[in-house]
Amino acid sequence: MDDIDAIAVLQDPVRRRLYEYVAAQGREVGRNEAAEAAGVTRTLAAHHLDRLTEAGLLDSGSRRLTGRTGPGAGRPAKVYTRARTERSVSLPARDYRTAAELLAEAAEQAGLDVPLREAARRRGESLRGSAAPCGSLDEAKEMLAARGYEPHEEEAEGAPRVVRMRNCPFHDVAERFPPLVCGMNLALLEGLFGADGPVAARMDARPGECCVVVEDSKNKDD
Amino acid sequence: MDDIDAIAVLQDPVRRRLYEYVAAQGREVGRNEAAEAAGVTRTLAAHHLDRLTEAGLLDSGSRRLTGRTGPGAGRPAKVYTRARTERSVSLPARDYRTAAELLAEAAEQAGLDVPLREAARRRGESLRGSAAPCGSLDEAKEMLAARGYEPHEEEAEGAPRVVRMRNCPFHDVAERFPPLVCGMNLALLEGLFGADGPVAARMDARPGECCVVVEDSKNKDD
């Protein structure tokens, strides 16, 4: 219940837009940029960004955004990133994280990787229901966003499109039991997107991100 | 994120007291009773109880609280219970429930009840840390409340004290995999209270409550 106040800060629609914008960038964001993205004045953006920081939802620091140093480089600007601390409230109280951790401990010892992946793939398929396999990377991004993965596209000139995800919905358990839980996550997404469609998921772990990337399935055999 | 507004309703301290009081009773509560418990007027309590109902945190109905019927029995009074719908917000987005469900499915198939209980007991012990075994039922109630179990004492004249719990923190997973998850829950609490202390947990499932009860350990062999 202690996180109620932090979460309630997002009731304000401007704060919510600012928070979502900063979270989606996955890097330090300055006040001007955030103000523009949220469609508000710099002063108002600064006020709300600082409220979000006080509530513990953003972290702030300062940096010279111009890249210049020395005299004439200007004052360092305040920049914001999404806070790493997890805030959560469940009513009634729920503690599925503890359940998942204890179950993962027992499952890892028993080497249940394969049956877990099978259960995850079936779950992904049943979430998709009777829909056709996911038809495009844009559709995949929407599906991933709806499940909290915070997808973003990696931009590299001339390279095929690759969707990466900033957030792992299973974060703490995945950190403790990476092969087991990341394998489960991949199978869940494979089931969700459907086999033999134009979109394919594969494992490509990077620190601080989800371990899965999504791309056109024809890239898969490159 | 859709539950932010519902959860933010509890920022108001009067609403929070009313919500917690109604949730703790585990039965229909009238406006007068709730007002008295929260230390506010009946009018203010009625206003906030209705706000909590609009937000989906309480359910309301009407009932003749006097027990009388027919002419002269008075108008039915409005009564409130805690809503059964789960509301939750995690920032960043987390979905440990899905992880727990998939892991439980694999663990149940593989018959991992015993290693899961061992992991849960170790977790309970490590949560207790270097503290002595739980010394009394009152201390046990505090520990259970802190973990969201919503303990309450069963009152039966002449009977030994028994602490029951209105809430199961593992609710959805326990409903789907009861022997596995309730066994895990019992082992977790056994570890938390410590063996050979004056407080003992045992299984005693009742619909809509946690499957474990806690009592003086000397009752255990009765």
Confidence of residue A192 (pLDDT cuts 50, 70, 90): very high
Contact (CB, 8 A) for A218 and A137: no
pLDDT (0 to 100) of residue A158: 82
Which pLDDT tens digit goes with each residue over A162-171?
Answer: 999 999 999 9
The stretch A9-16 carries a mean pLDDT of 95
Q: Name the residue with higher pLDDT: A2 or A131.
A: A131
pLDDT (0 to 100) of residue A66: 63
CATH number of this structure's domain A4-82? 1.10.10.10
State the CATH architecture for B96-219.
Answer: 2-Layer Sandwich (3.30)
From B59's Cα to the closest Cα of chain A, the distance in A is 13
pLDDT (0 to 100) of residue B145: 93
Distance CA B201, CA B212 (A): 6
- The ipTM assigned to this model is 0.90
From B70's Cα to the closest Cα of chain A, the distance in A is 38
Residue ranges of chain B whose pLDDT lies below 50: 222
pLDDT (0 to 100) of residue B101: 98
CATH topology agreement for domains B4-82 and B96-219: no
pLDDT (0 to 100) of residue B36: 97
Contact (CB, 8 A) for A212 and A203: yes
Return the residue of B nearest to A88 by Cα.
Answer: B90
CB pairs under 8 A between A and B: 186
Smallest CA-to-CA distance from B88 within B157, B3, B22 is with: B3
The stretch A133-152 carries a mean pLDDT of 93
From A74's Cα to the closest Cα of chain B, the distance in A is 34
pLDDT (0 to 100) of residue B68: 65
Contact (CB, 8 A) for A106 and B119: yes
Which pLDDT tens digit goes with each residue over A25-71?
Answer: 989 999 999 999 999 999 999 999 999 999 999 999 998 766 666 66
> CA angle, corner A70, sides to A66 and A75, nearest 5?
55
Smallest CA-to-CA distance from B51 within B25, B77, B92, B19 is with: B19
Can you list the positions of beta strands (E) in chain A?
29-30, 58-63, 77-82, 87-91, 151-154, 162-165, 199-203, 212-216
Q: Which residues of A touch B120 (CB under 8 A)?
A: 102
pLDDT (0 to 100) of residue A159: 84
The stretch A178-189 carries a mean pLDDT of 97
pLDDT (0 to 100) of residue A32: 96
pLDDT (0 to 100) of residue A155: 78
Please say if the pLDDT value at position A219 is more than 60: yes
pLDDT (0 to 100) of residue B94: 95
Which pLDDT tens digit goes with each residue over A80-135?
Answer: 999 988 899 999 999 999 999 999 999 999 999 999 999 999 999 999 988 888 98
Q: Please state the domain extents for chain B.
A: 4-82, 96-219
Mean pLDDT is lowest, of A171-175, A203-207, B58-62, for A203-207
